[in-house]
Structure 1
Amino acid sequence: MQSYSEKVVVVTGAASGIGRALAQQLSMQGANLALSDVNMEALEETASILRGTGKVTLQKLDVADRGAWEAYAEQVKADHGQVDMIINNAGVALSETVERMSYEDMEWIVNINFWGVVYGTKSFLPLLKERPESAIVNVSSIFGIIALPTQAAYNATKFAVRGFTESLRQELKGTNVFVTTVHPGGIKTNIVRNGRMKTSMTGDNQTLEQQAKHFEKIAKTTPAQAADTILEGVKGGKRRILIGSDARLMDRIQRLFPVRYSDIFGWALKKLG
């Protein structure tokens, strides 16, 4: 996809963070936008700062609700007449040991981070296949490549998004639908503040505020930089998009030490703690 001008792009989790930055950049590049989030007030704030002239529609959407997705796809088709790209960006965080983790928390994050991507992909795939060129952009994480303590549930969902998307890409090879997986490192968003952060990665009983402040220190990439990397990656046909120097470094270490990388990161976590 060489241009976003006059394309219809669906973005989930568009009320803040990477989703909002994507909406801003796509708007400036002439796209028509179908934006969704569970936070309608913040989603309206996103719409208010867009500077493009393309059509923008807003929808309160719980990505964990399959029926809502199916109705949403029909609504976007009715509102825009076509869909050229979907960016399954909505996601949440959970930090807790496997032993202490509740099934409710596990189901919560799986339903949003994994099933939300599956529902979005399947609901819009028929519309995407109607277009001469289209794209599916599924946001995983660097934690879809490496695993760390207290991140078992988050890792499980992001590894699942990666596997699902890479398989889908092979199924759609040779078609008009381009498929890519996005792996952000630390991005300056509110994902920690909005998450269920029960135990820190170092095992300390830090408060949510302490964990959020620690994350802000190590998260070096802005949402705008992340959005730019994603959109340029899609234009360039990249099948895996790594965001941030930290993500690129961790990916490289994992490739060099596919089993022992955990020892390296364990040492680094103690230093950071």
Structure 2
Amino acid sequence: MAQRTNGNGAAAGLDGRTAVVTGAASGIGRALAQRLAAHGSPVAICDWNEEGLEETAAAISGPVFARKLDVSDRQAQLQFAAAVQEWAPRPIGLVVNNAGVTVSQTASEAAVEDDEWVMNVNFWGVVHGTRAFLPIFLKQRSGVVANVSSVFGLMGFPTQSAYCASKFAVRGYTESLRHELKGSGVRATTIHPGGIRTNIVRNARFHVDDRGGTDHAAMAAEFAKIARTSPEKAAKTIHVGIEKGKDRILIGPDATAISLLTRSVPVHYFDVVERLMGAVRR
């Protein structure tokens, strides 16, 4: 895979320090890697999709290290962290555990293999990535661990029980970590994207949607209409939020609205969501 470096001096703050991004073959991961590189950071990227990963690496003009990686593999994550540390032309300042997948199925008819796949990538991938790089940050007493949850880490949604469980788990894990890290010089940030124009729905394992439909293409097309935030806008929001030291980063107006709704109506929020979705669909 691609591997480039140079001898430029480090810049102040996050910009200029080495950044690690998982799930960088497309979507938010690709846009974020490109943005961080454009702001002077050497970037280490990984993804299971080797072809997409190579495309991301080719689009980055600065120092880049790219490796095909299954984030659910703990040993592979440890080996990746060691390789990045050896390669990094500047201290590692940021790790974004972004890789994610989903499945659309009812809880009563869920395939165990699908639920395990989602949890292994979305939750254990985050845990393994955090544990792989955290010792490096603690030793240097600086760095940011940014873990990508979702608006579905703020609310439950029918046919998304596994995905919601994984993203709630990421939220709880990262918030607990943030409290543990107080005074260490290391920060933990939770990221909650709303509808982002990525391929996550198109690449989902699909059985049935929330209205009982079995047309995967129709579901993906509907998501494309609702998802208003571009990956580039999401990347900017993440970058700016991390630079400002935010503990929680909400991406898109829908994420902001859902955060407010679930705090205002913590039990019956979905009654409101259903009415709003009906209006949007019409």
TM-score range, shorter chain: over 0.9
- Distance in 2, Cα, partners of 1:68 & 1:93: 22
Deviating above 6 A after TM superposition, structure 1's stretches of 4 or more consecutive aligned residues are none
Aligned to 1:187: 196
CA deviation map 1:29-84 (0-9, x unaligned): 00011100011111110011123x3x210110000111111111111111116422
Q: Which of 201, 210, 213 is 2:218 aligned to?
A: 210
Unaligned runs of 5+ in 1: none
Distance 1:200 1:90 in 2: 22
CA distance in 1, matches of 2:37, 2:255: 27
Partner of 2:162: 153
Distance in 1 of aligned mates of 2:37 and 2:117: 32
Q: Tell me the distance in 2 between the aligned counterparts of 1:190 and 1:2.
A: 34
Q: Name the SS for the 2:92 alignment partner.
A: coil
Question: Counterparts of 1:241 and 1:48 in 2: how far apart (Å)?
Answer: 29
SS of aligned partner of 2:43: strand
Matching residue within 5, 14, 17 for 2:27: 17
Partner of 2:207: 198
Question: How many angstroms apart in 2 are the aligned matches of 1:270 and 1:4?
Answer: 42
- Given that 1:202 and 1:269 are in contact with CA atoms closer than 8 Å, whether structure 2 keeps it comes out as no
Aligned pairs (5 A) from 1:1-273: 3-51=13-61, 53=62, 55-80=63-88, 82-205=91-214, 207-273=215-281
SS of 1:224's equivalent in the other structure is helix
Give TM-score, length-normalised by structure 2.
0.92
Q: Distance in 2 between matches of 1:221 and 1:111?
A: 27
Unmatched segments (≥5 aa) in structure 2: 1-10
CA distance in 1, matches of 2:60, 2:80: 22
Q: CA deviation at 1:2?
A: 6.6
Q: Give 3-state SS (helix, strand or coil) of 1:84's partner.
A: strand
Deviation at 1:199, TM superposition (A): 1.3
TM-score (norm 1): 0.95
Aligned length, in residue pairs: 270
Residues 235 and 2 (structure 1), Cα distance of their counterparts in 2 relative to 1, 3 Å cut: farther
Q: How far off is 1:133 after superposition? A: 2.5
Alignment CA distance shift 1:25-1:95 (3 Å): same
Q: Aligned partners of 2:167 and 2:141: how far apart in 1? A: 30
SS of the aligned residue for 1:129 comes to helix
1:85: how far off?
1.1
Cα distance in 1 for partners of 2:92, 2:276 equals 44
Q: Quick one: distance in 2 between partners of 1:24 and 1:117? A: 21
The answer as to whether partners of 1:98 and 1:152 remain within 8 angstroms in 2 is: yes
Percent identity over the alignment is: 47
- Aligned CA RMSD, in angstroms, stands at 1.4
The 3-state SS of whatever aligns with 1:36 is: strand
Q: How far 1:237 moved relative to its partner?
A: 0.9
TM-fit CA distance, 1:272: 4.3
* CA distances 1:99-138 after superposition (whole Å, capped 9, x unpaired): 1111000000000000000000001100112335210000
Contact 1:83 1:131 (C-alpha < 8 Å) held by counterparts: no
